């Protein structure tokens, strides 16, 4: 099956793989971000401990670092001769670099701060008196978190998830450094746009750009919808 755009024909396979691998990476990384990000957000919002400011700084750092720097640091950590990559290779007999799993690591790293910051703000906005009332009634902290705190902060958590997913979908620099741009293996939509542009295949680049722009607009709309619903319910 083929599509035609501006009288230029190209096979669906050139579109399908970048789209499918991008959404696979974004979905897996977003799930990991949701689990770990909400946990970290709760700890930062409800705990005071030595080194808290440093921990928050390290989690937030990927928001301001250039993606290539993030990619380089990840290579130093999980590359074959990296701090953790050496042990991974010795244990599993294979490395992480230049695999789609490396794309998940890169997407997770750059999108985690969005979830943590958004969820943390939502959790901090929850009235602590409600939590204290639950403690008085005999609820444990874990029960209180799942029955009161997180449900009341769900709008912020959901907004963070949407933003994290959108960030993962559009990730480029760190993915290029860690996973590479291997056709049929690690070429996400962003990487495919770069390759198509270099090759002069503007038709393919235009279509992938449209898909990413649509996803970005949809993410912004969903985030705004969540925020407006939250205001109406207050």
CA 231/CA 222 separation, integer angstroms:
14
Number of Cβ within a 10 Å radius of residue 220: 13
Could you tell me if residue 148 is inside a domain?
Answer: yes
Could you tell me if residue 87 is inside a domain?
Answer: yes
Could you tell me if residue 128 is inside a domain?
Answer: yes
Any idea what DSSP says for residue 84? T
For the chain, give percent helix, strand, coil, nearest 5.
Answer: 75, 5, 20
Could you tell me if residue 45 is inside a domain?
Answer: yes
Could you tell me if residue 3 is inside a domain?
Answer: no
At 94, list the tokens.
Answer: 């294979």
Cα Dmax for the chain: 71
Rounded to two decimals, the pTM is 0.88
Could you tell me if residue 187 is inside a domain?
Answer: yes
Cβ pair 153, 122 in contact under 8 A: yes
Could you tell me if residue 32 is inside a domain?
Answer: yes
CATH code, domain carrying 49:
1.10.3720.10
Could you tell me if residue 115 is inside a domain?
Answer: yes
pLDDT in tens, the chain (234 residues): 444 444 445 556 678 899 999 999 999 999 999 999 999 999 999 999 999 999 999 999 999 999 999 999 999 999 888 888 888 888 888 889 999 999 999 999 999 999 999 999 999 999 999 999 999 999 999 999 999 999 999 999 999 999 999 999 999 999 999 999 999 999 999 999 999 999 999 989 999 999 999 988 998 888 888 777 655 454
Range of the domain at 79: 9-233
**Domain tally for the chain?**
1
| Torsion of Cα atoms, 33 then 60 then 126 then 47, to 10° | 100
């Amino acid at each position: 099956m083929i599509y035609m755009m501006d009288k230029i024909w190209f096979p669906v396979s050139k579109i399908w793989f970048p789209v499918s691998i991008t959404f696979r990476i974004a979905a897996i990384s977003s799930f990991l971000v949701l689990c770990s990000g909400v946990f970290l957000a709760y700890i930062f919002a409800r705990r005071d401990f030595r080194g808290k400011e440093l921990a928050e700084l390290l989690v937030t750092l990927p928001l301001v670092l250039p993606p290539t720097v993030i990619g380089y640091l990840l290579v130093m950590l999980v590359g074959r001769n990296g701090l953790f990559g050496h042990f991974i290779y010795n244990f599993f007999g294979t490395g992480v670099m230049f695999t789609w799993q490396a794309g998940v690591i890169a997407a997770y790293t750059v999108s985690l701060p969005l979830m943590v910051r958004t969820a943390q703000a939502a959790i901090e906005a929850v009235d602590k008196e409600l939590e204290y009332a639950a403690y008085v009634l005999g609820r444990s902290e874990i029960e209180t978190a799942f029955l009161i705190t997180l449900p009341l902060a769900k709008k912020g958590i959901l907004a963070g998830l949407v933003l994290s997913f959108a960030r993962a979908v559009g990730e480029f620099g760190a993915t290029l450094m860690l996973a590479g741009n291997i056709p049929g293996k690690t070429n996400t939509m962003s990487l495919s746009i770069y390759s198509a542009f270099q090759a002069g295949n503007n038709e393919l680049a235009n279509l992938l750009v449209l898909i990413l722009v649509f996803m970005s607009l949809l993410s912004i709309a969903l985030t705004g919808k969540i925020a407006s619903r939250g205001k109406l319910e207050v």
